[in-house]
Amino acid sequence: MPAALPRIHERPMPAIRDNIVEVRGLSKFYGGFQALKEIDLDFPEGELISLLGPSGCGKTTLLKMIAGLLEPSAGQVFVKGKAVTGPGPERAFVFQDFALMPWATVLRNVAFGLELRGTPKAERHETARRYIAEVGLAGFEERYPHELSGGMRQRVGLARALAVNADVLLMDEPFSAVDEQTRRKFQEDLLHLRRVQRKTFIFVTHSIEEAVYVSDRIVLLSRRPGRVSRIIEPDIPRDGTPDEIRRDRRYLDTVEDIWDGLKQFVD
């Protein structure tokens, strides 16, 4: 069946471009429960890679270990060739629940990463204003998070991650807490961002359509324990309008193919 599909590659370890993030033999136990088992993955620089899988497959755990927020039980993560021991300036995290400080304005929230680094106030505010404008929130600098909608809050979270100018953006289901229209708008913005920023995006999602729509590469995880079951490179034309892409044969076939693979996990 997959052979009939146009150009869907399945390669366990592609090595064409430089890998900015490498995951080697990564396992994670929570007590006696094994969340992830011996994960080996490469993340090529400049790509948008999705981690996709059924709930409980450990995709967020994997992302947090890449971020250095969780300690692996075994194995290692390398970022730009260096072993990860904790969070680092070359990685920035976008949180599912936004993680905005409710007592701080949008401006301070966006500048917070720079504030922690000790960047002078004028300089970090200038940078923050630029990224606030980039995510389309110009004019909201002095507002507080509770005055914003869910979608706008996530834009603040995104601007904060962009402001520290990291090479790798780690996004933990960033669009799951926003409504469908906002979500689609976000996906467009993400694709735009990927074109203008020379960054690597690692993106956790549980939505097949979302993963296929935005990704250069999809890592499909199975669960109990979480393992890499497939790596898919959707060959979707990027030059059409969103509607054309969503009706494109290759887009639909890829979604269907992944769904076939995931069906077995639905209980």
Partner 1 sequence: MAHISVPNNEVPGWIRWAATRDHTLLWRLLSLGLFAGAWEIAGQIPINYALPPFSQTFMAFVGMVLDGSLIGAYATTLQPLLIGIAISAVLGVSIGVLMGLRPMAEWLAAPVFIVMQAAPMAALIPLITFVYGIGMTSKVLAVCVLALPVIVLNCYKAVRNVNPSLVAMCRSFQGTRWQQVAKIVIPDASPLIFAGLRLGISAGFIGIVLAELLITPTGIGDLITYHRSVANYAEMYATVVSIIVFSAVTVGGLQRVELTLFRPEKREIA
User: What residue ranges bind partner 1 (CB under 8 A)?
Assistant: 67-69, 86-89, 91-93, 95, 97, 99, 101-103, 112-113, 115-117, 144-147, 164
What are the tokens at 250? 């290759």
Kindly report the CA angle at 229 between 10 and 19, in degrees rounded to 5?
60
Which CB atom, from 21 or from 255, has the smaller least distance to partner 1? 21
Rounded to an integer, what distance in angstroms lies between the CA atom of residue 43 and that of residue 18? 8
Which CB atom, from 46 or from 68, has the smaller least distance to partner 1? 68
> Nearest distance from residue 177's CB to partner 1, in Å?
12
> Nearest distance from residue 99's CB to partner 1, in Å?
4
Bridge-partner residues for 48, per DSSP?
Answer: 201
Which CB atom, from 143 or from 250, has the smaller least distance to partner 1? 143
Calculate the CA 151 to chain-centre distance.
16
> Nearest distance from residue 102's CB to partner 1, in Å?
6
Kindly report the CA angle at 139 between 134 and 143, in degrees rounded to 5?
110
158 within 8 A of 94, measured Cβ to Cβ: yes
> Nearest distance from residue 97's CB to partner 1, in Å?
5
Rounded to an integer, what distance in angstroms lies between the CA atom of residue 31 and that of residue 250? 42
> Nearest distance from residue 113's CB to partner 1, in Å?
4
Which CB atom, from 67 or from 255, has the smaller least distance to partner 1? 67
Which CB atom, from 23 or from 232, has the smaller least distance to partner 1? 23
Greatest Cα-to-Cα distance within the chain, rounded to the nearest angstrom: 59
Calculate the CA 224 to chain-centre distance.
22
